[in-house]
Amino acid sequence: MITRRDFVKTASLSLAAASPVAALARPAAAGASPELLIRRTVRPVVVSDYSGWEFKNGGTENAVQRAFRLITEGRDVLDSIIAGVNIPELDPLETGIGYGALPNAAGVVELDASCMHGPKKRAGAVASLQGVRTPSLVARAVMDHTDHHLLVGAGAQQFARQMGFKIEEDLNTENSRRLWREWKRRVDPEHWLDPNRRESREMAAGRSMVRDGLIGEGSFWGTINCNAIGPNGDLCGVTTTSGLAWKIPGRTGDSPILGAGLYVDNEVGAAGSTGRGEANLYNLSSFLIVEAMRRGLSPKEAGMEALKRIRANTVEARLLNSKGNPNFNIRFFALNKRGEYAGVAMYHAGETKYAVCTENGAQAIELEPLLPGTPED
Ligand code: GLY
């Protein structure tokens, strides 16, 4: 009788020789059955939203390139993708993530981040964190050093200080301060008196700044989600953001909430998101996508299922365009255990691409939309 056992390759991967499944026979000990060793390897893949392609912080690598390089050098997958997203976090030109991100309504940069380690089944997150340029690393420290999954506000900052992170007085740059002043100029100072009016005025002011080319649509909801699979099938994910531009202080989006802006199950896949976080908080879309992949859907089918759910659950008139569809965009990046991936969006509008890095190098790929047209239709 032939016994089988899986032999998982953990040494650094020779990409040229990589094959999804390789079998080799091990000589039988005297009197024993020969053992068939099945070595499973996966093509490493790093998938991220467009920030992972666009920003290099003055260096030579973008986030997906750095993450891919570190994974193929044998580094832990979560370490690698966090090192990747540190690039846009630190890049002052990226106004939706980390240092120099668009601040909240009070002019203060507040950051959210989460991370999940598939094989260790551990997670950490921070929300409304002020003063630390790299919230993804603080989320990682929550995962590594506490029994908890989420620290917020002043407690998160105190924790970061205790962990040795540099706490800065202000993460604004002159650019983010200038844009905040412009936003204040466009908002009725009496908007706090009427929540419904406030909502429409805040959104209208923010959107008008996108239309006028002052801020990118990606910066309005600016976020990076980056997910990867390593050569031995380890899946990890990270999401980091300054959240919605000009938000009410303390507003927390989907990014630090497990199941909303990020979810990883090492046996199934990983998913994360950028775009209107409230839609993800309501629908727990990243969890929904991973569960859909568990049922056998491809990453694209699973992402589309989440988009359809969001569309069905978006019923308030203030959130609908003239066609009765959501008047916001949202994007998902999904990766399964086989290394198959997809990037999908409610609309092919604004940021229309996402980033992928494989052994063939980094590329920006068109997102696949659920709906035609744009959120403004
Ligand atoms: N998706 C980022 C946020 O809404 O905060």
- The answer to whether the beta carbons of residues 9 and 40 sit under 8 Å apart is yes
The alpha carbon dihedral of 89, 92, 96, 98 has a sign of: positive
Between CA 29 and CA 66 the distance in angstroms is 44
Q: Identify the residues whose C-beta falls under 6 Å from ligand 1.
A: 221, 223, 241, 243-244, 253-255, 261, 274-277
User: Is domain 45-371 annotated with CATH 3.40.50.10680?
Assistant: no
Could you say which of 223, 240, 252, 314 is catalytic? 223
139 sits in which H/E element: helix 135-145
**3-state helix vs strand vs coil in the chain, percent to 5:** 35, 25, 40
Report DSSP state, residue 258.
Answer: B
**DSSP single-letter state for residue 181:** H
- Pocket probe mutation, ligand 1, options 126, 202, 263, 274, max atoms within 8 Å of Cβ: 274
The answer to whether 140 and 115 are in contact (CB under 8 A) is yes
Q: What is the DSSP letter of 100?
A: T
- pLDDT tens per residue across span 150-171: 999 999 999 999 999 999 999 9
Classify residue 7 by burial, with Cβ atoms within 10 Å: 0-12, 13-18, 19+: middle
Residue 205, amino acid? A
C-alpha of residue 222 to centroid of ligand 1, in Å: 7
Active-site residue, 274 included:
no
3-class DSSP state for residue 359? coil
Cα separation, 235 vs 24, in Å, equals: 26
Burial 85-104 (b: 16+ CB within 10 A, else e): bbbbbbbbebbbbbbbbbbb
d(CA 208, CA 221): 14
In this structure, the residue with its CA closest to atom 5 of ligand 1 is 243
pLDDT in tens, 329-341: 999 999 999 999 9
Q: Which of 49, 111, 217, 221 to mutate to test the pocket of ligand 1 (most atoms within 8 A of CB)?
A: 221
Residue-level pLDDT, tens digit, the chain, 377 residues: 333 333 333 333 333 333 333 333 344 455 555 555 555 678 999 999 999 999 999 999 999 999 999 999 999 999 999 999 999 999 999 999 999 999 999 999 999 999 999 999 999 999 999 999 999 999 999 999 999 999 999 999 999 999 999 999 999 999 999 888 888 877 755 433 344 555 566 677 777 887 888 877 666 767 899 999 999 999 999 999 999 888 888 899 999 999 999 999 999 999 999 999 999 999 999 999 999 999 999 999 999 999 999 999 999 998 999 999 999 999 999 999 999 999 999 999 988 999 999 999 999 999 999 999 999 88
Alpha-carbon span 46 to 52, nearest angstrom: 10
Which atom of ligand 1 approaches the CA of 275 most closely? 1
Cα–Cα distances (Å) from 295 to 125, 285, 298, 310, 336, in that order, read: 27, 15, 9, 19, 12
d(CA 151, CA 112): 10
Ligand 1: centre distance to CA 232 (Å): 31
pTM here is 0.75
Three-state secondary-structure class, residue 304 = helix
Domain positions in the chain are: 4-40, 45-371
DSSP symbol at 60: S
Q: How many CB atoms lie within 10 A of CB 178?
A: 12
Joined together, the tokens standing for residue 283 give: 């629908």
Residue 146's φ and ψ, nearest 5 degrees, are -135, 170
Question: How many Å apart are CA 82 and CA 85, to the nearest integer?
Answer: 5
**Separation between Cα atoms, residue 135 and residue 139, nearest integer Å:** 6
